[in-house]
Amino acid sequence: MEPFDHKTEFTLTQPPHPDWTPPHSQKLPHPFSKDRETFVKSSDLSAGEMYKMLISSVVPRPIALVSTCSKDNTGAPVNIAPFSYFNLVCHDPPTLMVSINYSRGNQKTPSETFRRQHFVESANHTSIPVPYEIEEDKLSGLTLVPSTYIKPKRVQESLVSFECRLSHCHLIQNAKGETSTGVVFGEVLGFTVKDGVWDPETKQIDMRLYKPVSRLGGNNYGRTESGYEIMRPTI
């Protein structure tokens, strides 16, 4: 295994086929034969097998490092856990979603942050299966500081932290009628961002400084080292 290269910087390149132009009948080269493929029925796979298939094919996935606290002040003051079943829902109102797998005994309600390369080892350590009353920040070396609008504290090491209010939760049941997952929607009330990472003029995050980490299959994670720009077509 190669050592981690801390000097790698985010760069923009040309798209894979910069000379391609419409019409769409002009086929782009494809590395696999369209005639050699297999259909797999979902019910033929166990839950564990389907999990492996999904997390290795739907990639890369952003990771939310979520801090929560109990509504009635019972249990630990703040819990932290990473979730890769996570994404945007819409921008008006600004809403995020995270799916919480009940089968792993984790039924926390999400509130705030993204996970980044700068502290990925500490963030990963928050996934340790400890009792609810154990505070993961004490185990991971992360720093919790007060949020602006919400009760759960935020992770100070995060370059961007979203403070969310629960919009609603949708429970999903499996074939046995058991609740397997809770899909939680949170409205973004505001965010804290490290100076220099967000451009207040363009309202965009600088990828060169942000260094996002993505979840791949198994225990593998990805770095965003390069990107390319493709303009949206117009009529």
Q: What is the mean pLDDT of the chain?
A: 85
Rounded to 10 degrees, the C-alpha dihedral 40/41/43/44 comes to: -40
Cα gap 185→87, rounded to integer Å:
10
Give residue-wise pLDDT tens across range 188-229.
999 999 999 999 888 999 999 999 999 999 999 999 999 999
- Which domains, and CATH codes, for the chain? 58-225 (2.30.110.10)
More confidently predicted of 180 and 126: 180
Angle formed at CA 160 by CA 139 and CA 125, multiple of 5 degrees: 20
pLDDT at 105 over 50: no
Q: Is the dihedral of CA 45, 60, 98, 154 positive or negative?
A: positive
Cα gap 194→109, rounded to integer Å:
25
